[in-house]
Amino acid sequence: MKRTFIFSILTLALMMICQNAFAYDYHVNGIYYRKATQQLPGGGCGETFLIVVNDDYENTYSGDVIVPEQETINGETYRVLYIGSEAFYGCINLTSVTMPNTIVNIGFHSFARCPLLESIDIPVSIKQINSNAFSYCDELDHIFIHKNEPFFLWDDAFADINDHVHIVVPCNCIEAFEAAEEWQGIQLYDDCGNVGIGENEAVALNAYPNPASETLTIEAEGPVTIVDEMGRIVRNLFVDNKQTIDLQGLSSGFYFVKAGTEVKKVMVK
């Protein structure tokens, strides 16, 4: 991907100065923070804010973590703007992280290797997600993006996860995201049930019997989506060679089974 936007993006991303050399400055209500100050484009200092970090070690956090919009420390109130690089890295007992609508940047490897993390919500305030932010999160199934326009991604922001994680953008926003250079090639879904084109590789796909009544057997390798004639998602699954699914609850009609760029039309009786 071209890097023509790097300097403007880094400016927008609130470059930091006057930072302490230590990994964290404060430990408040179970969360570790580093304090930083915004560097203004014309020079000088702007807002002082907080970055969520760890306590110098992996596996700092566990359970359900709620990051606040701001914290008052020593009589001063600071907004929480960054999820720092490796902040939640290797937190094997972390089950969820709730981020406030102040977070503008998610750092390198910030949520990597969190095996119990199943879904995460990206707030509307986000401006940038860095490389490998969610890598090797084996149980991660959904990333819900609440901003309705594309923002900056590093080349491999979704490395190791886009083959099994549903990246969901707001309703009817898929085309806008796919038109952005850094979002091309990422399989997207939206929260009204539409599926983007993406640039997935061709996948061998078979679905039978056709017509089907009670069950449908799907042969494929990787994520498979079943949508109805209106383009609405009715099933999401991950197929390892072959899987038979129960069609109970599906009304009669035509459905489309999608794996990568392959599509099979199936009639359900």
pLDDT in tens, 130-189: 989 999 998 999 999 999 999 999 878 888 787 788 899 998 899 899 888 889 888 898
**What is the C-alpha to C-alpha distance for residues 195 and 121, in angstroms, rounded to an integer?**
19
Q: Which residues contact 93 (CB under 8 A, 6 or more apart)?
A: 59, 62, 63, 116
Residues across the chain: 269
Give pLDDT, residue 127: 95
* pTM (2 d.p.): 0.69
Among the listed residues 183, 128, 173, 180, the one whose alpha carbon sits nearest the alpha carbon of residue 148: 173
For range 4-29, the mean pLDDT: 55
Give pLDDT, residue 224: 86
Predicted confidence (pLDDT) per residue in 39-54, tens digit: 877 778 889 999 999 9
C-alpha distances out from residue 203 to 239, 261, 266, Å: 11, 7, 17
Tell the residue number behind the tokens 């326009």, with chain if given: 149
Phi, psi of 229 (to 5 degrees): -65, -20
**What is the C-alpha to C-alpha distance for residues 256 and 231, in angstroms, rounded to an integer?**
9
Asked whether the beta carbons of 126 and 103 are under 8 A apart, the reply is: yes
For range 52-75, the mean pLDDT: 94
**What is the C-alpha to C-alpha distance for residues 21 and 34, in angstroms, rounded to an integer?**
10
Domains of the chain, CATH where assigned: 6-190 (3.80.10.10), 206-268 (2.60.40.3080)
Continuous H helices in the chain: 6-12, 174-179
Give pLDDT, residue 29: 95
Give pLDDT, residue 137: 93
